[in-house]
Amino acid sequence: MHYYYASIHKSIKQSTMQTINVKINIDSPTGRRLLKELERHPKVAKVEYPVPETIAGEKTYTIEEVFSKVEEKLNNHYGTNQKLKY
């Protein structure tokens, strides 16, 4: 079975945020439909995908880290000080 975790955030009076963790079985059509619905609401639901076993334990990089390195290499190569938007 494949499970995905979703954190659902509920804002109360815009000052506190409550979260719950949900485990969804995506082997069923209902589970896949629920996952798609959660992905449509990124402001209130954050879906965390499991790390594949092939890269488990290895260093992984966030989007920000990758773009930071690319930005650094491009600026060093071309002698500029440009900032990438991501």
Residue 55: C-alpha distances to residues 4, 36, 58 (Å): 17, 25, 5
Confidence of residue 36 (pLDDT cuts 50, 70, 90): very high
pLDDT at 27 over 90: yes
At residue 13, the pLDDT reads 52
pLDDT at 37 over 90: yes
At residue 14, the pLDDT reads 55
Find, among 62, 35, 57, the residue nearest to 46 by Cα.
35
Token reading at 58: 């290895």
Give this prediction's pTM: 0.48
pLDDT at 11 over 70: no
